[in-house]
Amino acid sequence: MKRVVILTGHFPEQKRKPSMLWVAQHLQDMGWHVTLATVGYSWLSRLTGDKRLAEPPQTGTRFRSETLTTIFGFSPIHPVSTRVALLDALSRPLHQLFPAYWGPLLQEPLARAEVVLIESGAPVMLAPLARRLAPRARLVYRVNDDMRLMKAPRFLMRAEIRAAEMVDRISTASPHLAQRFDPAKTTLDPMGIARDALAPPQANPYARNAGYDAVCAGTTLLDLGALIRIASAAPQWRLHVLGPHGFACETPANLLLHGEKSYAETLGYIAHADIGLAPYRDLPGVEYQTHNSNRIALYRHFGLPILGPDRLCHPSVPSIIGYSDPKWRFRCETRGPRPELLRDWSDLARRLVQNGETEPPLDVSIPPESA
């Protein structure tokens, strides 16, 4: 049985499954043994009340089945920014405790792995460890996020540059992110959808009222101000926000905060919505979400018009309507559903471990050091 180790910041059991959990599932279906190591959490995470730890898995190595092993633990410290550059620089030596903690836990699975998938974020600090403990394995860096937008400390972004140099391949869904890396080993591998999970009819969570239901299926990089402006400008819309939030300000009556929902419930909110909302913060670099966002992929599958900042607009995704369009409300209300045929997650899983034919990145790229 072939073996793959996935270094990720995600937990094996989450209400909404991110891409690497779908990849892990499909690799098992293909006959691989998957070791899923959830890294990037420390005792500091618990002290600061990290919301992702509301229901953390058990610590240690767990043999879930013949094809799945999971590993989780609280390291002494994890890569975190103090928001003060000098303090980040001074704390950098302490962060070597992070790979030191994970070395013994990962030694055995890395030594047996044919492939190691390293997701963007805290896992990049373990790339040297993976290279040392898995010298014969193929290392793939999967860039699912732009860490510059995630307020990562500078030392973590430098760790990403080093990781990109030592891995065998860099994979991303975003042409925008691909430009930051070596074009000779960077491939564009699209995000996917869970076709089997999407096939059954989805339960309709909406009341039968006049007007339009617009869904925001996630709160990552959420621009609350944009949501409030949309709600105020479109009083006949009901804006449904799914995901954790810490909003303290007063919001319009038609802006409804539902909190975290299961994947099945989320699909219902999207399948029966009239409009998909992608109110990412309008920051330089957020363009990568056009091709990396799970919620945008699901909106496209169900054929929703998608409203978001102009930076997300791209010719390859004509369903996205920018805020500056003077007819944004009219276009969202009258466009009607236009479902798109997107790839299944199994396609991404196959690409990541088999290095099959992949679409090349843009012709013009710049090295990471110049990004």
Lowest model confidence (mean pLDDT) among 7-16, 164-173, 283-292: 7-16
- pLDDT tens track for 267-277: 999 999 999 99
Q: Three-state SS string across 234-272, please? A: CCCEEEEEECCCCCCCCCCCCEEEEECCCHHHHHHHHHC
| Token pair of 140 as six digits | 């793939």
Q: Is residue 97 predicted with pLDDT exceeding 50?
A: yes
State the greatest distance between any 2 C-alpha atoms of the chain, in Å, as a whole number.
61
Rounded to two decimals, the pTM is 0.87
Residue-level pLDDT at 367 = 37
pLDDT of 28: 97
What's the chain's length in residues? 371
> What CA–CA distance (Å, rounded) separates 148 from 69?
31
Summarize pLDDT for 172-216 with one digit per residue, the tens. Answer: 999 999 999 999 999 999 999 999 888 888 999 998 888 999 999
* pLDDT band with cut points at 50, 70 and 90 for residue 263: confident
- Confidence label for 42 from pLDDT (cuts 50, 70 and 90): confident
Which domains are assigned to the chain?
3-192+346-370 (3.40.50.11010), 200-334 (3.40.50.2000)
Q: Across all residues in the chain, what is the average pLDDT?
A: 89
324 neighbors 140 (Cβ within 8 angstroms): no
* Residue from 67, 319, 345 nearest 197 by CA: 345
Task: Give CA–CA dist 143/56, Å, rounded.
Answer: 24
Give pLDDT tens digits for 110-148.
999 999 999 999 999 999 999 999 999 999 999 999 988
Number of Cβ within a 10 Å radius of residue 304: 26
pLDDT in the model for residue 87: 65
pLDDT band for 368, please (50, 70, 90 cuts).
very low
Question: Which residue is listed with tokens 């929703």?
Answer: 304
- Top-confidence residue, 318 or 154: 318
Which two three-digit tokens encode residue 49?
Answer: 């009340």
pLDDT grade for 278, boundaries at 50, 70 and 90: very high
- Whole-number pLDDT of residue 172: 94
> Distance between CA atoms of 330 and 321, rounded to whole angstroms?
11
E-strand ranges in the chain read 3-8, 33-38, 60-65, 68-72, 115-119, 138-143, 169-172, 186-188, 212-217, 237-242, 255-259, 275-277, 306-308, 320-322
How far are the Cα atoms of 59, 119, 260, 269, 347 from residue 317, in angstroms, in the given order? 41, 25, 27, 21, 20
pLDDT digits 0-9 by tens, 240-254: 999 887 776 788 999
Strand order across the 186-188 sheet: 60-65, 68-72, 33-38, 3-8, 115-119, 138-143, 169-172, 186-188
Alpha-carbon span 58 to 1, nearest angstrom: 26
pLDDT of residue 209: 82
Q: How far apart are CA 240 and CA 205, in angstroms?
A: 11
> Which pLDDT score, from 0 to 100, does residue 48 have?
63
pLDDT score recorded for residue 193? 94
Cβ 145 vs Cβ 118: under 8 Å = no
* pLDDT category of residue 91 using cuts at 50, 70 and 90: low
Residue 141 phi/psi, 5-degree rounding, is -95, 115
Tens digits of residue pLDDT in 71-82: 999 988 777 766
Quickly count helices (H) and strands (E) in the chain.
14, 14
Residues 6 or more apart whose Cβ sits within 8 Å of residue 30: 346, 349, 350
Of 206 and 149, the one with more pLDDT:
206
Mean pLDDT (whole number) for 262-268: 91
For the chain, what percent of residues have pLDDT higher than 70?
A: 88
Q: Residue 370 pLDDT more than 50?
A: no
Which tokens hold the place of 191?
Answer: 């995000």
Residues near 327 by beta carbon (within 8 Å), at least 6 away in sequence = none
The closest of 194, 202, 319, 223 to 266, measured between CA atoms, is: 202
